[in-house]
Amino acid sequence: MSVAAKLLLEFIPNLVYRLQVTQNRCDNNLEKVGQNTLTSDIPLHLHSPRLGFLCVFSVLCRYLHLDPAEEYKMNHKRRGLALIFNQENFGSTSRAGSRNDRDKLLMRLTEMKFDVKVYDNMNEEEVYKSISEAAEADHSDADCFLLVFLSHGDKDHVDTYDGQISIEDITSPFKGDKCRTLVGKPKIFIFQACRGDKNDDPATACDAVDSVVEEPTGDGARYTLPAGADFIMCYSVAEGYFSNRNIASGSWYIQALCELFEKYGDSLEFTELLTLVNRKVSVRSVQCGDSQKDGKKQVPYFASMLTKKLYFRPKK
């Protein structure tokens, strides 16, 4: 190894450390200054040249991702498979507005370079078969896996055309001990369904009712993960509550999720984006002229077993 190469190897770790220290100081200073400027109409970075530098430097450090081990590898050949189960019709009843959710999701996920498969009004056997086929597929060249289920539901299950399927039965085939090619990769499950003891009421005129700590490892070292690691469960509503759906435009949750995917899907870390979805949905209220429903609220819920940060940066 040349002298120049040795010097470079000694210089880089020291540079990274100094950048990390400076970033932390910048973030702390920004937080202190930001507390006094939240109500100002002047952009934060224009209060002073020094503050402008802090803003730019902090953003630059985050963009460079100084520790790549903390972020999921999302530069595989494919983004990955995305399944959308849209259960709109149930014999004599239907979930009006669900088609809008399906179409918006199809558009956004396709833009994010997912290989999207849409399944409409499947019976229980067909759902199990489709899930089994997806779990048995080869995901070696994929970044991640995503599944969305739009239906009626309750605490621990969602409805198919002719029956029910437990959320555990949907997710378990993708655990690390069963789906080896998804080990260490994000597995995202999104459920738009009620989680209380009542189903949606599609007759309503406007709004219907619908961790692991990674041990440090050396270069080239091998480590194992729990079979349930790298999952994130996203629900339209907290357990025990109704999930609201507008019969004209679709569900509050899916519409908010798609809108924020469009705005920030390629820049925000995924759990940060979900937090914005929570806020967007939580500020809404039911307005339908029914005194028993008017003013009702909803807040989504997500449970993360992710072990790294998740970004959907644009595919090259």
For the chain, the first-to-last Cα distance in angstroms comes to 34
Q: What mean pLDDT comes out for the span 112-129?
A: 97
pLDDT in tens, 185-197: 999 999 988 766 4
Instruction: Read off the pLDDT band of 289 (50, 70, 90).
Output: low
pLDDT of 288 strictly over 80: no
pLDDT of 307 strictly over 50: yes
Q: Give the number of other CB atoms < 10 A from CB of residue 239.
A: 11
Contact 110, 261 (CB under 8 A): no
pLDDT in tens, 51-92: 555 555 555 555 555 466 799 999 999 999 999 999 998 776
Contact 130, 122 (CB under 8 A): yes
Nearest to 186 by CA among 139, 131, 137, 127: 139
* pLDDT score recorded for residue 214: 36
Rounded distance, CA 255 to CA 246, Å? 10
Contact 160, 87 (CB under 8 A): yes
Instruction: Read off the pLDDT band of 199 (50, 70, 90).
Output: very low
Contact 83, 119 (CB under 8 A): yes
pLDDT of 246 strictly over 70: no
Pick the CATH number of 81-199+225-305 from 1.10.357.10, 3.40.50.1460, 2.60.40.10, 3.40.630.10: 3.40.50.1460
Phi first, then psi, for residue 187 (nearest 5°) are -125, 110
Report domain extents, the chain.
Answer: 81-199+225-305
What is the three-class DSSP state of 125?
Answer: helix
H or E segment to which residue 104 belongs: helix 98-111
* The token pair that represents 99 in the structure block: 């088609």
Residues with catalytic function: 152, 194
Instruction: Read off the pLDDT band of 228 (50, 70, 90).
Output: confident
Rounded distance, CA 276 to CA 303, Å? 15
pLDDT of 272 strictly over 50: yes
Range scoring the smallest mean pLDDT among 150-159, 198-207, 276-285: 198-207
pLDDT of 35 strictly over 90: no
Nearest to 228 by CA among 290, 300, 173: 173
The residue length of the chain stands at 316
Q: Which residue has the tokens 């029914």?
A: 290
* pLDDT score recorded for residue 231: 97
Rounded distance, CA 245 to CA 200, Å? 8
* pLDDT score recorded for residue 28: 54
Dihedral (Cα; 179, 191, 310, 35), 10-degree rounding: -160
**Mean pLDDT score of the chain:** 77
Exposure string of 214-235, with b = 16+ CB inside 10 Å and e = fewer, is eeeeeeeeeeeeeeebbbbbbb
